[in-house]
Structure 1
Amino acid sequence: MNLLFIVVGLVILILGGNWLLKAAVGFSLRLEIPKIVIGMTVVSFATSAPELIVSVKSALDGYADLALGNVIGSNIANLGLVLAITILISTISVEKSFYKTDWPVMMLSSLLLYGFIAFDGVLVRYEGIILFLMLVVFLFYLLKFQKPAVIEDLPDDNEELPLYKDVLFLVIGGVALWGGSELLIDGAVGLATKFNVSERVIGVTIVSVGTSIPELAASVIAILKKEKAISLGNLIGSNVFNILAVLGITSIITPVTVKDQGLLTSDIYWMLGVSLLVLPLVFAPVKMKLSWKEGLILIALYGGFIYKMIA
């Protein structure tokens, strides 16, 4: 039954990623907003929903390590696994907004999280409010200043759909991502508990990979459909959302207290390291491009992280 949940969950997630992408492209055409901005708002909100649901429920049930491990593990998986697979499939040309806005905000969010939990091991309500307010400011900046700053030539085959279809695709896609993730997580945790694996290890490996599947599905579909701006914006945006929205909202509802010190002595440093590494990879060896070579580096790093967790 657990295996069936995993398989069905994956199928629903892939379908949801496709529907969500249709909605994102539709809204970018209708509102004349750059696709990179749509990727970092509409798509990121929907694909981060599984992390939010899992983290809030885990924290309320007293499993704070699962809530925090899920976010930290998802952020590592988004770059070390999802981005790696995406650029192994196809080379990505990186937008200037990556180093001007997207990457700095991701690093600032990561460092802010580190500062909040590294010393006392607790993410309290006022810290959650600060994180969420930072997200609001970031989104305002994107929609206010990046809209006229980025001009993209849309593919000729993109036709503007009726508004009700855009909304329908957005809702169905979001629900499918949520439902598929729930099935996947239930199945994965069910299998993992049979082997007496710790809550923290489940959070940063199986659950985080499960909740990162929407990002993988949306990104691969975006690459195959030549919507590469959405793909990159979605990944960076999801990491920002995971910290500012998921942990922000979770800690506003209930304090997140770390029990397993491995989250603070190891896992969060892996997250900071992988996030930091993306910047030099964008500039070397080929400036403003990510190709299969960088993909191999990232996936090897992620493999090392997983080996360390389960060894």
Structure 2
Amino acid sequence: MLIEIFLPLLMGGALLAGGGEALVRGSAGTARRLGLAPVVIGVLLIGFGTSTPELLTSVEAARLGAPDIALGNALGSNTCNVLLIGGLAAIIAPMTVHKDAFRFDLWIAVTVAVTLALAMVAGPLTPMLGALFLLSLAVYALVALSVGASSAGGPQDTGAHGDEIAPVLWRSLAIALVGLVAALLGARLFVEGAVEIARLFDVSEAVIGASIVAVGTSLPELATSIMAARRGQSELALGNIIGSNIFNILGVIGATLMVGEIAPSSEALLRDLPAMLAATAALVVVILVLGRMSRAIGIALLAGYGLYLAVML
């Protein structure tokens, strides 16, 4: 019985992680061939790409009648991105932060987080709000792409002849497509397993969404940020976190609301939302005030995530 319940969860998590990584590799390869700036690759392509599991999982959860998992997943993932992923990346490979590179995107992340908080306090989250979020995401993506392309120059050549770019582009796109299919299947398995666990152990769906599902769907962000930090690419490591947080609110919650209205639970309002806002504030302090991600800061971030889990459980 337990094996039958946990097996879909484990299989779904593995497919989400593997599919998300393939999606990131394909997206990043495409971005490089098109000549996008490193910050755009980190924030827009990798950040958005690694949030695809959150998107698929939350939409599937809402479709299966588990809106608390859908909302808890998005809120919990943002908290996890900053405190767990940012903390581990800083401990493994401390980073110096170039403030100006992240200033615009960071304030976008703060703005959308505050907007979501006000909407949750005001009442049920409606499909109209979801449409507004998705429209805002499209505008932000277009601006980021335009600025990133103009600052980077042009498409990168792969050899002596320009026509060699096309095969590489197609290969990158194929990898991204395989990753998307794997993430789709993984999202369904993961949600089904999480719902069954919640019912078996009489744990609220909000807790499952903000813990197991949030961490599971954040595995691609974890792998990407740690790898980037080890290579000294702070723009990719932190850009991934910022871009993912923006996408989780505008894209994930926006698309989820198109499935149906969500009335935030008391757990989401009193626990998950304050935790997400606190994590966002911590990110602002680390990047714009401290200007570095030291091991001490990483330990403090991990301690904050441990406190969040202790309060949750």
TM-score (norm 2): 0.85
Residue in 2 that maps onto 1:118 = 121
Q: 1:194 to 1:66 in 2, by over 3 A?
A: same
Residue 176 of structure 2 corresponds to which residue in structure 1?
A: 170
The CA distance in 2 between the partners of 1:308 and 1:99, in whole Å, is 31
Quote the Cα distance in structure 2 between the aligned partners of 1:141 and 1:67. Answer: 28
Shift of 1:211: 1.3
C-alpha contact 1:25 1:35 (8 A) present in aligned 2:
no
Structure 1 unaligned spans of 5+? none
- 2:161 aligns with none
Name whichever structure is richer in helix by fraction.
2
Post-superposition offset of 1:34? 0.9
- 3-state SS in 2 of match to 1:117: helix
d(CA) in 2 for partners of 1:54, 1:18: 16
2:138 maps to: 136
Equivalent pairs, count: 301
Cα deviation code 1:184-208 (max 9, x no counterpart): 4444444443321011111111111
8 Å CA contact 2:82–2:301 kept in 1: the answer is yes
Show the counterpart of 1:148.
150
Q: What displacement does 1:51 show?
A: 1.7
Instruction: Give 1:1-311 correspondences, 5 Å limit.
Output: 1=3, 2-97=5-100, 99-120=102-123, 122-149=124-151, 162-258=168-264, 260-283=265-288, 287-310=290-313
Counterpart secondary structure, 1:255:
coil
Of residues 263-272 and 176-185 in structure 1, the stretch that sits farther from structure 2 once superposed is: 176-185
State the Cα RMSD in Å: 2.6
Contact 1:50 1:182 in 2 (8 A): no
Distance 1:142 1:308 in 2: 37
Relative to 1, partners in 2 of residues 1:203 and 1:8: Cα closer, same or farther, differing over 3 Å? Answer: closer
User: Deviation string for 1:80-114 (max 9, x for gaps)?
Assistant: 11111112111223243554211101110011111
* Cα deviation code 1:28-60 (max 9, x no counterpart): 321111122122223233322222222223223
Contact 2:101/2:235 (CA < 8 Å) preserved in 1? no
Contact 2:137–2:251 (CA under 8 A) maintained in structure 1: yes
- Partners of 1:261 and 1:267 in 2: how far apart? 9
* Aligned partners of 1:21 and 1:222 also within 8 Å: no
Q: Where do 5+ consecutive residues of structure 2 fail to align?
A: 157-163
Report % sequence identity.
33
In structure 2, C-alpha distance between the alignment counterparts of 1:54 and 1:10, rounded to whole Å = 11
Asked whether the equivalents of residues 24 and 50 of structure 2 are also in contact (C-alpha less than 8 Å), the reply is no
CA contact (8 A) 2:134 2:255 kept: yes
Change (3 A) 1:35 1:20: farther
